[in-house]
Amino acid sequence: IQGIQGCLAVMPDKPQVLVFDTAFHQSMAPEAYVYALPYELYEKYGVRRYGAHGTSHRFVAGEMCKILGKTKGTKIVTCHIGNGSSISAVKDGKVMDTSMGFTPLAGVEMGTRCGDIDPALVPYMMEKLNLDGAGVNNLMNKKSGFLGVSGFSSDSRDLESAIANGPSDPHFERANLAVNILKFQLKKYIGAYSAIMNGLDAVVFTAGIGENNPHLREIVCEDMEYFGIKINKELNAKTLRQSNIVKLSTDDSKVAVYLIPTNEELVIARDTAAIVSAAK
């Protein structure tokens, strides 16, 4: 709001466009976004799954559709993995489901966020730790995830360094656990999303960790031959810190696996140009 007000004060005659990060997820069906809570919470307060990172998921899914040569009939799982992470099932170019929910706390383990947990843990932690609602919210958002499990860092690069050092590193065991938790969850999402889409054409990795952590990509994709997923381990190992789209799957992989660098700014710029042009 302050940004909007500031622009109005400095450039009152210039149009402003808002691009919402939840917009791409509005194609979800009610069974995907309505929580099994009293329905009036949805009606009165808008309590539902909204998702996040929609601009990123939209961009990489669109690029993957170009590679596949079509939009209709495509079944893609997009994995936006960074300090905040979300996974989406994109069928025919539209989102069927996404891992984040009413807030960005839901879904997979993140840098400092816990992701999905048993909701009954909230009152349990309030009692055991003598915390109020705000305190538990802070614990789940700021003190959990990689940081909470590893006990020393929210940065995946630090965790990967400890893992590479081996058991002699004092942080090895819990760093390895933190990474394996995310690996386990990503595998489950890929499997679940394949089920609701009735198939899978491609898995896309993007965002800071997805683009720059070969180890995580490898362990997520290994032992997935049942789904037809095979990656080129040598190519994957050296694919990081670059701006090109890279096919990571082998030629005989039934499911394509790609690294697609996200470009949310480009999506926002295109939407802004289209809206401003249409308004003239």
The span from the CA of 97 to the CA of 49, in Å, is: 9
Q: Between the CA of residue 69 and those of 63, 207, 277, what are the distances in Å?
A: 10, 23, 29
H helix runs in the chain, sequence order:
2-10, 30-33, 39-45, 54-68, 121-128, 133-142, 145-150, 156-165, 172-197, 207-212, 214-221, 233-237, 264-279
**SS3 at position 203:** strand
What secondary structure letter does DSSP report for 26? G
Distance of CA 9 to the CA centre of its chain: 36
Of 173, 148, 149, residue with least CA distance to 162: 173
Read out DSSP for 136-180? Answer: HHHHHHHS-HHHHHHSS-S-HHHHHHHHHH-TTSTTHHHHHHHHH
Q: Which residue has tokens 């490898």? A: 218
| Encoded tokens for 243 | 């701006």
| The total number of residues written for the chain in this structure | 280
Of 220, 213, 262, residue with least CA distance to 239: 213
Give the residue numbers annotated as catalytic, written as ranges.
21
Angle between helices 264-279 and 54-68 (to 10 degrees): 90
Q: 19 near 89, Cβ under 8 Å?
A: no
